[in-house]
């Protein structure tokens, strides 16, 4: 294993699995943001009662698991590139969806236009909320896990995967629901859905912890990499790698 923060030449290294994780991350991000918000679901649970959430909450937290793994193994700067790739993909997908919804339908297709508008016709407000929340939450998540790795000297992985997710998801959920629905939903309804989403997303990280350990350990061995961000510039506005 190498602690890459002390190795000057690592910026030119090629990793076997980094590109695959970037592609998977962007795929999950796009699907959870384009397909997930199309449905609000209510599930009735024993003891807890009725729980209402956007369907995307079942899959979006996986992107945070990927973010934890990328930062833990490859470092903040390489995860930063992945976040920007996801940001660009979200921006393009949102623009594409807006254009497709706005195009006049063929006469024989007109009856299906309302369904297309329902699924893909997010308002500019929701699009802005989604992209902004993702960008802010992802960088908070990556920053916290990178700093905690230094503080813990690489021990207790579970503390930083869960701790970073609690911070990142708090920022993500708070920004998204406030920007997207403030003034449209009743305050108590807005608070209830926001808290429910936050708990569900954060709970995902706890459930996924054993799998996260396995993937992180595998990657560290396979890539011969275990990055410590001791000299990293944590600005989000850069695409530079170490």
Residue segments in the chain with a per-residue pLDDT below the cut of 70: 1-12, 37-38
| Among candidate residues 158, 5, 19, the one with its CA nearest the CA of residue 82 | 19
pLDDT at position 104: 95
Is residue 88 a contact partner of residue 57, using CB atoms and an 8 Å limit? no
Dig out the tokens for 50 from the structure: 């009725």
pLDDT at position 8: 39
pLDDT at position 12: 61
pLDDT at position 160: 96
pLDDT at position 5: 43
Residues in the chain: 242
Angle between helices 18-34 and 76-102 (to 10 degrees): 40
Kindly report each contact of residues 160-166 with a partner whose C-beta sits within 8 Å and lies 24 or more positions away, as own/partner.
160/68, 160/72, 161/65, 161/68, 161/72, 161/205, 161/209, 161/212, 162/202, 162/205, 162/206, 162/209, 164/68, 164/71, 164/140, 165/61, 165/64, 165/68, 165/141, 165/201, 165/202, 165/205, 166/202, 166/205
Where in the chain are the domains? 4-223
CATH number of 4-223: 1.10.1760
The torsion angles phi and psi of 59, rounded to 5 degrees, stand at: -120, -30
Dig out the tokens for 37 from the structure: 């918000």
Whole-prediction pTM: 0.89
């Amino acid at each position: 294993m190498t602690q890459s923060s002390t190795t000057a030449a690592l910026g030119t290294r090629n990793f076997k699995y980094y590109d695959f994780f970037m592609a998977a991350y962007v795929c999950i991000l796009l699907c959870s943001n384009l397909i997930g918000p199309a449905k609000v679901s209510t599930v009735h649970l024993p003891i807890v009662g009725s729980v209402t959430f956007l369907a995307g909450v079942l899959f979006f937290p996986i992107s945070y698991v990927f973010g934890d793994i990328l930062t833990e193994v490859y470092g903040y700067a390489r995860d930063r590139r992945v976040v920007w790739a996801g940001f660009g993909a979200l921006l393009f997908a949102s623009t594409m969806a807006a254009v497709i919804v706005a195009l006049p339908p063929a006469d024989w297709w007109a009856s299906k236009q309302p369904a297309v508008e329902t699924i893909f016709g997010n308002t500019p407000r929701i699009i802005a909320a989604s992209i902004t929340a993702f960008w802010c939450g992802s960088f908070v998540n990556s920053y916290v896990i990178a700093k905690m790795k230094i503080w813990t000297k690489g021990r207790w992985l579970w503390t930083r995967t869960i701790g970073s997710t609690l911070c990142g998801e708090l920022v993500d959920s708070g920004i998204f629901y406030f920007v997207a629905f403030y003034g449209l939903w009743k305050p108590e309804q807005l608070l209830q859905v926001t808290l429910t989403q936050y708990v569900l997303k954060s709970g995902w990280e706890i459930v996924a912890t054993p799998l996260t350990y396995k993937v992180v350990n595998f990657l560290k061995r396979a890539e011969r990499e275990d990055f410590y961000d001791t000299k990293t510039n944590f600005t989000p506005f850069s695409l530079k790698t170490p």
